[in-house]
Structure formats: C-alpha cells, structure tokens
Amino acid sequence: MEKYYTRACNFYYGKQSKLKVKNKLSIPLHGNKSISFDNLEVITRKYNKIIHIKDINFQNKNLKKKIKKDLKLITNLKKIKNLNLNYFPLLMGVINLTPDSFSDGGKYNNVNKAYEHAKNFIKKGSKIIDIGGESTRPGSKEIKKEIEWKRISKTIKKIKKLNTFISIDTRKSWIMEKGINQGANLINDVSGLNYDLNTINILKKTKIPFVIHHMKGTPKNMQKNPKYKNVILDIYDFFEKKINQIRKKGIKHNNIILDPGIGFGKNLKHNITLISKISIFHSLGFPILLGLSRKRFIKDISGKNDSKERLGGTISSNLFAMTQGVQILRVHDINEVNQSIKVYKSLNL
C-alpha cells in the first residue's frame, strides 16, 4: 500500500496569520495563531500534490484518513519538561569545549571563559545552553570518554549555577549519566542514539528529555559522497522507525525533539531540500531543532560572499526556519540572531 506523507505549507506569520485564523482561512500550527498554514503537500515516493485545507474532505478515503491523523499531530505539539515551547523560537547557545570544533574550537575551552560566554548567552536571550566536549565536525575522530568528561565536567557544574536549561552534546552513555547527575536537562546525541547501545538504557532510567538527531555514517566518513533515495522521506522514515524502537524499549514519555542533522551526512542539495521542506517533520508531532549556524552550506551557496562568521547566511536561514514553525534554533551568535527575530516579529505584528 502506498505510503503518504503530509507537509503543512503556505505559512502565514504574525498579523496576517492571526487574521486568517480568525476568519477560518488557515489552521494555526501547534495552536499558535501567530503562525498558520492553509495548504498541505501530500508526498509519496512517486508523486506529490498540494491540497488546500478546504479540499481535504474531497480526497479518497485512505488519503483523507491519513491527512486528518497527521493534522492532529501538526496542530497539537508535545510538551518538553522544563521548556516553554510557547516562547517560540527558543535559542540554543552553542558552547564547544574542544580544541577542534569546526567554528569556535579552542575559543572557550576553559571553565571561566565558558561560564562568561554562557552568562552572556543567557543575557542576550538563550533559553538552552548546549555543552559539548567532542568535536563532530566532518572528518573528526572519536576521543576517549575520560578526556571528553574532563573537558566539560567543571563547566557543567559552574553553568548550572546560572539556573539555566543545560543540554549535553555527547554520543557516550557514560558521559550522559555523569552529566545528568550534575544537573543536565537534555541529551543531544548526534548519532541518533546509534553510537552507544547503553544510551537507551540511560534515557529510560533517567526519563530525561533527548534529541533524536539524524546522521548518515559517522563524523569521520559522513561527508564522503552521502546518498539518499529521497532525503526528506528517508529521514522522516528514520525518525518514525527510531520512535517506534524506543517505545518498544520502554521509553513512553514524549520529551523528545527531532533534529534532521543539517550537514551530517548531507551534500548541498540534501541540506537545501531539508531546510526548504522542514515543515514535513511537524506531522511526527514533536518539536523540531535545527542547527544552521555557520554551516558549510552557507559557504556553498554564497561563494565569494562567504565570511568567517557566516552571519548573514545564519540569520536568513534561521528566520526562514522560524517562519516554517521550527521551535528550537541552535546558534553561535545568540545576540545577532535574537536581534533579527525581534525585528522580524515587530515588522509582522
């Protein structure tokens, strides 16, 4: 039987969205009247078509049933423990305590510098601090768990005093458990919970919120000619399968965030397709996290206009993601991205 995928599209934002919702011409995304849509793209492995919301009841029986099921997920967002997703988008500030991360390796890898950086992030609007002690840039090699923990342990403890929501960026269950014991609120595993077989046990035991991240291959080989049959649908199927697997393993809570992993085993075409069609993942019913900040796709698009910070590309791609309903944006430049969001929202009041 043909499998249908439903993507909310043709979004409205701000004042225009509220007016459309009031007149019942669009449907609010996750109950938020400030962002709504009036079209659905139905996608299969063979074709796709756009359906206006007023035409849903005219579709065939199977398609109509699927659309209505997906609409329930698109319009009702799962809650994440200790995160206010009504404040949208949430900014996740990146703190790499590594000597070799792709953008800011070595810049903040001591306790005091990291603490001051986190404090500034919070002041400028970051609601989540993502702390990592192992680089997962393309071509990077694995490091020992003891080295990774030594890099981040004191920083986690000190930043926790700032009474903020802390995410641990790690693939290792040993690090996860130690980080949780020091007060971490979220586990962000770029391997999609595939690297360490004990990860599921830790997540089940602690019931901590976590990110399901998509990565094709490993950081060492992920950019060596990555291929997909259909990048959007392949990653959607990956999320669906992973959610089913963790349910079978006994994780019943809904404190789950989805990250399609821009730049993790994807070429430029894959990345652009994912970002432009990102709203398809709303029909899985979980919040979406995107890491677009300073990524290589910005360089690939901008060519001679590339820059070290890639601030223009970071801001524009994050604003686009926001208008597609992405709830969490992982960024290095909190102040500048937040500035752009405030201006955009003010222009759309």
Half-sphere exposure of 135 (CA within 13 A, CB side): 16
Of the pLDDT bands very low, low, confident and very high (cuts 50, 70, 90), residue 108 is low
State how far Cα 119 lies from the chain centre: 23
Number of alpha helices (DSSP H) and beta strands (DSSP E) in the chain: 11, 12
d(CA 348, CA 15): 6
User: Residue 256: which H helix or E strand, with range?
Assistant: strand 256-259
Q: 190: buried, middle or exposed (CB in 10 Å: 19+, 13-18, 0-12)?
A: buried
Question: Which is the catalytic residue, given 7, 295, 296, 310?
Answer: 295
pLDDT digits (tens, 9 = 90+) for 28-50: 999 999 999 999 999 999 999 99
Domain ranges in the chain with CATH number 3.20.20.20: 90-347
When pLDDT is averaged across residues 178-206 and rounded to a whole number, the result is 97
Nearest partner of 212 among 184, 243, 251, judged by Cα:
243
What does the alpha-carbon distance between residue 255 and residue 118 come to, in Å, rounded to a whole number?
Answer: 24
Other CB atoms within 10 A of residue 266 CB: 26
CATH architecture of 90-347: Alpha-Beta Barrel (3.20)
Fill in the amino acid letter for 167: S
CA distance 155 to 112: 8
Query: Which of 20, 145, 294, 330 is flagged as catalytic?
Result: 330
Active site residue 330: yes
The reply to whether 295 belongs to the active site is yes
Helix 311-323 crosses helix 268-276 at what angle (to 10 degrees)?
Answer: 40
Per-residue pLDDT of 45-77, as tens digits, reads 999 999 999 999 999 999 999 999 999 999 998
The tokens for 284 are 């899985």
The pLDDT tens digits of the residues spanning 124-145 come to: 999 999 999 998 888 888 899 9
Question: pLDDT at position 19, please?
Answer: 98
Which residue has 């890639």 as its token pair? 310
Q: Smallest Cα–Cα separation from 29: which of 345, 349, 325, 283?
A: 325
